[in-house]
Amino acid sequence: MNSPGWLGDKFVSNTENYFHTQSFDGSCAFEWRQGVKHDCSAVMELENVNGLYINKLNEKFDIEADLVYGLLKSSDLKNTVINWTRKYTIITQSKVGQETFYIKNQFPETYRYLSKHLSAFQSRKSSIYRGKPLFSIFGIGNYSFKPYKIAISGLYKTFLFTLVLPQNDKPVMLDDTCYFIGFEKIEFAVFAIILLNNPQTEEFLRSITFPDAKRVFTKDVLIRIDLYKLALNSTKQYVEEQLKFMNDKYCLKIDLSLWNSFINEMKPKKEEQMSLF
């Protein structure tokens, strides 16, 4: 049985696995983010039944669809690809601190619903909401609206990354128990998930994570995955085989035409443009 220990200046959970995969311990070219935080699930987490929304208070209501987005929680991230959500959430801001007066004028039904539950928002205990606009949320920014995301649960001990596709032509949101990176191009997202679900990546992650931790995966852990080095270490045959599998199983149509662009997107600035395959 392999044991924790120091290798150089790094304390790892499995010294043998880390020794084999330490070349992938670097810096991720894409920034890992945490999902949306609102601390008001009774009001903000919804289901849609027969065209009406239902909250956790079992209230049924109809609001404009504009600010409603599909929502995935840690417990939902069980498949390699997801294009449907069982829950929805209301995204009141496009960036942290944005004023929310616009909701009253542009989406009166949504504003009426939120105002009805104003006390629930005001009773949130976290100090991050003090002095902020009405119905404020956190963990929101331009990155939240990227159409294609690669996500992983921070709570579960499953070494599985999930490709999250848009739903109803809108990006799907993750809650704050999840971590994700976002992409504008589906090709880049597919390439990334092939690398992240690579057995070598799992071996590396198992060597630096601790199963008894409250969150096995954190941003500090995920940013250490050097996707650039993983890509350079991947053979054309392996990537093609994984692309074929993804295309066949999930009805995608991805080829390698953007692979070199993906590589160059990740390359350290000091290196020249590279061409692989």
**Does the global pTM surpass 0.85?**
yes
What's the CA gap between 213 and 248, in Å, rounded? 37
Q: Which tens digit of pLDDT belongs to each residue from 147-160?
A: 999 999 999 989 99
User: In terms of Cα–Cα distance, which of 56, 91, 49 is closest to 175?
Assistant: 91
Sign of CA dihedral 273, 185, 152, 141: positive
User: DSSP characters for 40-58?
Assistant: -HHHHEEEEETTEEE-TT-
User: DSSP characters for 205-273?
Assistant: HHHH--TTSS-SS-HHHHTTB-HHHHHHHS-HHHHHHHHHHHHHHHT----GGGHHHHHHHHS-TTSPP
What's the CA gap between 188 and 196, in Å, rounded? 12
Structure tokens at 178: 């999840």
Low-confidence ranges of the chain (pLDDT < 70): 1-2, 270-276
Q: Which tens digit of pLDDT belongs to each residue from 59-105?
A: 999 999 999 999 999 999 999 999 999 999 999 999 999 999 999 99
Specify which residues 37 forms β-bridges with: 138
Structure tokens at 173: 């949101």
Structure tokens at 189: 């997202």
**pLDDT value of position 16:** 87
Q: Please provide residue 228's backbone torsions phi and psi, each rounded to the nearest 5 degrees.
A: -60, -45
Q: Look at the block and give the residue holding tokens 């954190």.
A: 218
**pLDDT value of position 211:** 87
Q: Look at the block and give the residue holding tokens 């993906």.
A: 262
Q: DSSP strand E in 24-165: where? A: 33-34, 45-49, 52-54, 60-61, 68-72, 81-82, 87-90, 148-153, 162-164
**pLDDT value of position 173:** 98
**pLDDT value of position 4:** 84
What's the CA gap between 129 and 201, in Å, rounded? 37
CB 33 within 8 A of CB 179: yes
